Amino acid sequence: MTLFIIRRLIALVPVLLGVSTIVFFILHLTPGDPAQLMLGDFATKEAVAQLREEMGLNEPLYVQYGLFVANIARGDLGTSIAQRQPVVTLIAQRLQATAELALMAMLFALAIGVTGGVLAAANHNSVTDYVTTALSLLGISVPIFYLGLLLILVFSLQLGWFPVSGRGAPLFASIGALFRGEAQPFVTSLKHLFLPSLALGLSFAALMAKMTRATMLEVLQQDFVRTAHAKGLRRWGVIMKHGLKNAGIPLLTILGLQFSALLGGSVLTETVFAWPGLGRLAVDAIFTRDFPLVQGTVLAVALIFVLLNLLVDLAYGLLDPRVTYS
């Protein structure tokens, strides 16, 4: 097991190298000059040339690439061109905000999606099934952007239940405060988190519902399930213990893979809800051709994605005793 983890972590290196290489070249081959964009109005030819020199953009591309890789190897992601702060700092500032958003969205997705899927499968071809299937189709089809605005209009403007936008107290810190007996930060934090994570989680929930339903239907038709029923076990006991547990592995795989979609969706969610996360950072960086910052955020997201899938692989062992790691 330890060996397995170590080997997977070593395999991370070529993956990240590949990602950074692709990002580097896509960025540098896209039209748009960061020096020009930065100077904007009134930039003379000389000023742009001088700035390019200062930024090291006049070096041949392979030299720039070499420097870039060498710096990454030392853990230095460079300095943001537009914001003039170390890229690592900027990412670190945003990471928690996006993490709590993604986590909450995931919780919503699991709670709503798995419940819906199990109910639909257990009541195959019933009204519950049809309603769940229809709702999940709707959920997958509605754009996050639109859904976000809709939620704001209903729950913030009309009902006034939740704040419109912005982030409350940091979630993890407010959980800490909760243990010290202060509930207020935690409540504000959750209130601010609720709508954005719901918007982000719903399409994911819909997908989970569809997948859960399909795999559950398959599992529930297996012989061992029939046997369990024949032994006279309680119906929901069979569905949950024999059914859901065996449907778990494909669901887990999707969970890991779809997490990247979740991070992608966070770009839109963070824009609608003015959430100070990684997605907005990336968008701002792309529009200003802030090379170091784009590279940094993409690398960070890639790293998260790979690590998360490693966790998923490890979790297989918990669900299926036949899985061994070597």
Partner 1 sequence: MKALRTIFVALLVAGASVALAQGGVLRVGTVSEPTSLDPITTNNVPSSIIFMQVHDALVTYDQDLNIVPMLAESWEVSEDGRTYTFALRDGVRFHDGEPFTAADVVYAFTAGADPAYQSQWLGRFQQIEAIEALDDLTVRLTLEAPNAAFIDQITYFGIPSSKAHRELGGDGYAIAPVGTGPFKFVSWQRNDKLVLERNDDYWLTRPNLAGVEFRAIPERSVAAVELEVGGIDVAMSLNADDVTRLESHPDITVGSTPTLSYYYVAMNNQLGPLADVRVRKAIQYALPLDQIVDTIFGGVGAIRAYTSMAPGSLAYDESVVADIPGYDPQRALQLLAEAGYPNGFSTTIYTPTDSNRRQLAELVQAALALVNIKVEVRAVELGTMLPITYAGEAPMWILGWTSGTDPNNYSYEMFHSTPEAWAENATTYNTSRYHNPEADELMATARTLTDMEERLPLYRQAIRTIFVDDAAQIAAYHQTFNIAYRNHVQDIFLNRNSRMDLVTIYNNVSLTN
Binding residues (CB under 8 A) for partner 1: these are: 30-33, 36-48, 50-51, 53-55, 79, 81-85, 90, 93-94, 149, 152-153, 156-157, 160, 163-167, 271-277, 280-281, 284, 287-289
Nearer to partner 1, 82 or 177 (CB): 82
> Which of 239, 301 has the CB closer to partner 1?
301
CA-to-CA distance for 324 and 142, rounded, in angstroms? Answer: 40
Closest contact distance (angstroms) between CB of 85 and partner 1 is 6
The nearer residue to partner 1, 46 or 223, going by C-beta atoms, is 46
Q: CB-wise, 128 or 156, nearer to partner 1? A: 156
User: Measured from the CB atom, is 14 or 31 closer to partner 1?
Assistant: 31
* Spatial contact of 266 and 200, defined as CB atoms under 8 Å apart: yes
- Minimum Å gap between C-beta 62 and partner 1 is 23
How large is the C-alpha radius of gyration of the chain? 24
Amino acid at position 229, single letter = H
First and final C-alpha spacing in the chain: 6
- In whole angstroms, the minimum distance from the beta carbon of 158 to partner 1 comes to 10
Q: Where are the alpha helices (DSSP H) in the chain?
A: 2-29, 34-39, 45-55, 61-73, 87-122, 127-141, 144-151, 171-179, 184-220, 223-230, 235-237, 245-272, 278-287, 291-319
Cβ of residue 24: shortest distance to partner 1, in angstroms? 17
Residue type, 52: R
Shortest Cβ 150–partner 1 spacing (Å): 11
Task: List the one residue out of 249, 258, 209 whose CA is nearest residue 102.
Answer: 258
* DSSP label at residue 30: S
Tokens 């200003």 — which residue?
288
Shortest Cβ 189–partner 1 spacing (Å): 13
CA distances from 92 to 89, 220, 296, 310 (A): 5, 45, 11, 22
Between 113 and 163, name the residue whose CB sits nearer to partner 1: 163
